[in-house]
Every structure is written in C-alpha cells, then in structure tokens.
Amino acid sequence: MARLCEGRVAIVTGAGRGIGREHALSLARQGAKVVVNDLGGAVDGTGGELTPAQSVVDEIIAMGGEAVVNGDNVADFDGAGRMVAQAIDTFGDLHAVINNAGILRDRMLVNMTEEEWDAVINVHLKGTFAPAKHACGYWRDRSKAGEAVSGRIINTSSVSGIYGNPGQTNYGAAKAGIAAFTVISALEMARYGVTVNAVAPVALTRMTENLGPAPESPEEADLRSPRWIAPIATWLASEESSGVTGRVFEASGEFLAVAEGWVRGPSVAPLEDPEALGPVVETLLSTARKNSGMNGVAGGPPQPQEGN
C-alpha cells in the first residue's frame, strides 16, 4: 500500500528543531523526499549553524528516506529561490512547501524597538512570501505548459495572530498577516492546481517554553508535544488534500479544528451624524459576539504574559 506522500518532494523551513523537525520526519515516513531548511539560529534569530538540519537529514536517511540540508535564509528572496531550485535539481520536482521558520522578539508595544518589530515581520511574513513566490512561479509555469500540477503551500499561523496575545504585537501581526496571505494566495493559485492552507499550532517548543507554565505531568507534556502538529501538515502536503484550500487549521495534542475567519456581525444603516453613533454602536456591540480569547472561544480570556 502506497504511503500518503509517496514520491512527493517537500521543503520544510525551520526544520532543524521543534515543529519543523516533526514535519520533516512525518513527511519522510510517508514517503516524501525532503529538503530540510534551517539556519540553526537562536530563538531570536541570531547566530546559526547547520548541525540541527543535518541531524534531521541523518534521521531521515537512517529510516531509509531521502533528504538534503538547506541553510538559506527564508527571508532572503534569492536564498528562497535557491532553496526551491535545490529541491527541483536534487529530486526532479517540487510538490509541497511548509513555511515553518520563525523567531520571537516578544515585548510590550511601548517597549518594542524598531529592530524587534522588523526582525519578526521579516522572518515570518517575508519568510513565507519568498518561498511561496518561487514555488508558485514554478507551478504556474508548469501549468501553463500543459503539465499536471499538484502543488501545496502550508503556512504557519498562530493563535497569537488570529486571536491575540499581549506582548506579541510583532509576532501576532505577522501571523495574522500569514492567515490573510493564505486566504488570498489560495484564491490566486487555484487555477494552477495549487492549494494554500495554514496551520496554527499549539505546542511546547523552545519558542514557547517561556510563554506559560511548564507541564505538570508526562501526560500534559505529551499533549503539548510538537508531534501532534505534523499529521495535519503531512495530510495537507499530500494529493488527498486537493479539495481543501484557503483554510486555517488549529492543531494541538488536544484538538484539531478549523479556525473560522472574520465574518460580518450585526449591522445597521449608515448614519451621517457621528454624534448619533454612541447608542447605535452600543446596540451593535451588545448583540455581537465578543472577540475570541487564546482558547478560541468568543469572550474567552487572553493568555496572560509578563510585561517586558
């Protein structure tokens, strides 16, 4: 019986550790050939070396799979192009890109520096755009040449972006932008045989270990393991997912869910006089659902976070 991703070629960015590592290993177990991209930097994006990526490649080869290391910076447009070219040159094709690379520079808004804002936006937003741009260009050209295309972009959003978390205006804005990027690019790429989806993971990794209390038991630690995120990303990278596009999936050890996007709530006819808006807005808000908290429930509490 053929495995889910048998013979497919996939790129996973930020695949040296955590969630990205689990994506790469899961894809390989399901028969994919994997380009393991990772700069090997710290959580804040500084430094870097290829040992983490090479370790994942070694694991994949040890299990009988095929994989290669890529050390390009996903936020470098030309570097992202080299990464896509490496996949095609090494394995003869490209079928899926999982945009997973990311960094954190958490800070309350009034204390956040320009550099902390720019660094996070660059890695997450441009680091999603650049690989997707090069991969989608390849698939569009193949489609226009009359070839069958089965392309998959799987982006990484976050509950911090779609619901909001104090102390993460940079990270949350980037992740909300990635959700919007997913919806829009899905509309654009459907004609070429390409789907675009996103996953908003909840897992304990080195990026999130300081954002909340530590697990109190092995069972709780397992529920927060990044291994629970890989199944949906692997399925989305397969041919089986061809009918699913433009969606954001929440994934954790406790649930798999579809995040519902912005919808228009209660409305009234427009008013010209701003002085008349007070009671009207009060009525609208009294009947509208409250914003969701970090638990995804309307009116739910945000995840508390220490100011810094």
Buried b / exposed e over 21-54, threshold 16 CB at 10 Å, is bbbbbbbbbbbbbbbbbbbbbebebeeeebebbb
The encoded tokens of residue 34 equal 């994997």
Q: What mean pLDDT is reported for the chain? A: 92
Where does the pLDDT of residue 205 fall: very low under 50, low under 70, confident under 90, or very high at 90 and above?
Answer: low
The length of the chain in residues reads: 308
Average of pLDDT values for 17-34? Answer: 97
Where does the pLDDT of residue 214 fall: very low under 50, low under 70, confident under 90, or very high at 90 and above?
Answer: low
- Residue 213: predicted pLDDT: 60
- Residue 198: predicted pLDDT: 98
pLDDT value at 215 more than 70: no
Average of pLDDT values for 133-150? Answer: 98
The DSSP string of 163-193 is II-TTBHHHHHHHHHHHHHHHHHHHHHGGGT
Short-list 85, 64, 96, CA closest to 238: 96
Half-sphere exposure for 16 (CA within 13 Å, toward CB): 23
The encoded tokens of residue 128 equal 């999603």
What is the percent of the chain where pLDDT is above 70? 89
pLDDT value at 270 more than 80: yes
- Residue 159: predicted pLDDT: 93
| Spatial contact of 191 and 184, defined as CB atoms under 8 Å apart | no
Where does the pLDDT of residue 49 fall: very low under 50, low under 70, confident under 90, or very high at 90 and above?
Answer: confident
What is the percent of the chain where pLDDT is above 90? 82
- Residue 42: predicted pLDDT: 64
Cα(27)–Cα(70) distance, integer angstroms = 16
Exposed/middle/buried for residue 175 (C-beta within 10 Å: 0-12, 13-18, 19+): buried
| Spatial contact of 106 and 167, defined as CB atoms under 8 Å apart | yes
Q: Is 192 annotated in the active site? A: no
Cα(98)–Cα(22) distance, integer angstroms = 12
The residue from 138, 163, 171, 192 that is catalytic is 171
pLDDT value at 272 more than 90: yes
pLDDT value at 208 more than 60: no
Query: Which H or E element spans position 36?
Result: strand 33-37
The encoded tokens of residue 292 equal 């969701």
Q: How many CB atoms lie within 10 A of CB 171?
A: 26
Short-list 117, 129, 128, 214, CA closest to 168: 117
Cα(117)–Cα(105) distance, integer angstroms = 8
User: Domains in the chain and their CATH numbers?
Assistant: 9-259 (3.40.50.720)
pLDDT value at 45 more than 80: no
Cα(222)–Cα(242) distance, integer angstroms = 31
Where does the pLDDT of residue 38 fall: very low under 50, low under 70, confident under 90, or very high at 90 and above?
Answer: very high
| Alpha-carbon torsion, ordered 206, 212, 218, 222, to 10 deg | -60
Cα(270)–Cα(215) distance, integer angstroms = 50
pTM: 0.90
- Residue 306: predicted pLDDT: 37
